[in-house]
Amino acid sequence: MQTDTAAVRRGEELNTANLAAFLGETVTVEQFPGGHSNLTYFVETPTKQLVLRRPPFGTIAPKAHDMAREFRILAAIHPHFPEAPQPFQLCEDPAILGATFFLMERRHGHILRDAIPPQIPNTPREISALCTDCLARLHNIPLQDGLEKLGKPEGFVERQVKGWSERWRRAQTSDVPLMEQVIAWLEQHLPVSGPPALVHNDYKLDNVMLAPGKIAAVLDWEMTTIGDPLIDLGITLSYWCWVNRPNVRTAGVPSLTLEPGWFTRDEFLARYQQQTGRNVSNIAYYEVLGVFKLAVIVQQIYLRYHLGQTTDPRFQDFGQRAIGLVELAAEMTHTLA
């Protein structure tokens, strides 16, 4: 029994007979219970251990949860960045499990959410450095050998603002006028981007798997592209450093990094700048953008709950959590800029 897995949640079961036929082996399936978006399962056969990724059940936003794209991204990045798990097999036939899915290698380690487990002997400061350095390594990878084809860096930040604004409007379940003010601010203060890099687009503590003294894996590559890497840094800081704000805590962001010993915002920025040589003087814009995107993601999840497409009780108050994040983003446009 895997200590980091659990029984599959009701309504998220897989057709194990079809999966066994697809793999040509008998299978047992458990679920990784963390995460709020794509579904991740532990699949064991008599000869191997695998991780299966598929989209959530129900109607999903256009272009979201693209498992085929995530598979191809991992295939391209894994040879250059070993923290990216190796993908093995893609299935785009919905007759098998009802949606596109892929299988990748099983990595072993610990996801930090509420505490550092005793199996990880590293201090919070050491873990902070590991996380910062890992992000810097990703951004320092040369864009060659096909990696340059993973995205279009020209106009990247502008497209991010436009695309996530459209996602918000499609996912709305109530009027939130303050969000339109945040969107207008983001449109009016578009930064001049530096040299492009690989952008994970959701780099945060609980998308990093730790082993003693190292990063065992970076997970959740669905939104990875080529663009302005400060978007990654802003997203990381919006999870890492703002959790002491009541409206972020309302959003359910883990508060582990509030405890003594973790990098402060300034320490994270200084180490990142040292590792990459990038100018981070305009990082405030990217932090607002990070909180804005988090608000949209939370609202998209809530929409599925609101429509009855998921019964996961974790999502029942996500509508209020999204509003809390909108309020924080609006506040940050005044206090950071």
> Which pLDDT tens digit goes with each residue over 176-209?
999 999 999 999 999 999 999 999 999 999 899 9
Q: What's the count of helices (H) and strands (E) in the chain, helices before strands?
A: 11, 10
Lowest mean pLDDT segment, chosen from 63-67, 108-112, 133-137? 63-67
Give the contacts of 215 (CB within 8 A, at least 6 positions apart): 83, 130, 131, 134, 208, 209
Give the span between the Cα atoms of 11 and 313, in whole angstroms. Answer: 12
Residue 189 Rama label (left phi>0; alpha psi -120 to 50; beta): alpha
Domain spans in the chain, listed from the N-terminal domain onward = 16-105, 110-335
> Which amino acid is present at 179?
M
Domains 16-105 and 110-335 in one fold: no
Give the gyration radius of the chain's Cα atoms.
Answer: 19
What does the alpha-carbon distance between residue 254 and residue 251 come to, in Å, rounded to a whole number? Answer: 9
Question: What is this structure's pTM?
Answer: 0.89
Determine the pLDDT at residue 257: 86
Band of residue 157 on the pLDDT scale cut at 50, 70, 90: very high
**Which alpha helices (DSSP H) does the chain contain, by range?**
16-23, 67-77, 94-97, 124-140, 156-171, 177-188, 230-240, 246-249, 265-276, 283-306, 318-335
Across the chain, which distance is largest between two alpha carbons, in Å?
58
Q: Quote the pLDDT of residue 2.
A: 42
Share of the chain above pLDDT 90, in %: 70
Strand, coil or helix: what is 128?
A: helix
**Mean predicted confidence (pLDDT) in 94-116:** 93
According to DSSP, the β-strands at 101-105 and 49-54 are antiparallel
DSSP character for 167?
A: H
Per-residue pLDDT tens for 250-293? 555 557 888 889 999 999 999 999 999 999 999 999 999 999 99
Instruction: Identify the sign of the CA torsion 141, 147, 148, 152.
Output: negative
Nearest CA to 5 out of 26, 37, 27, 28 is that of: 28
Q: Is the pLDDT of residue 91 over 80?
A: yes
Please state, in angstroms and rounded to a whole number, the distance separating the CA atoms of residues 125 and 122: 8
Topology given in CATH for the domain delimited by 16-105: Phosphorylase Kinase; domain 1 (3.30.200)
- At 266 the three-state DSSP class reads helix
Distances (CA, A) of 136 to 25, 156, 216, 277: 40, 19, 16, 10
Amino acid 311 reads T
Pick the CATH number of 110-335 from 3.40.309.10, 3.40.50.300, 3.90.1200.10, 3.40.50.620: 3.90.1200.10
User: Over pLDDT 70: what percentage of the chain?
Assistant: 91
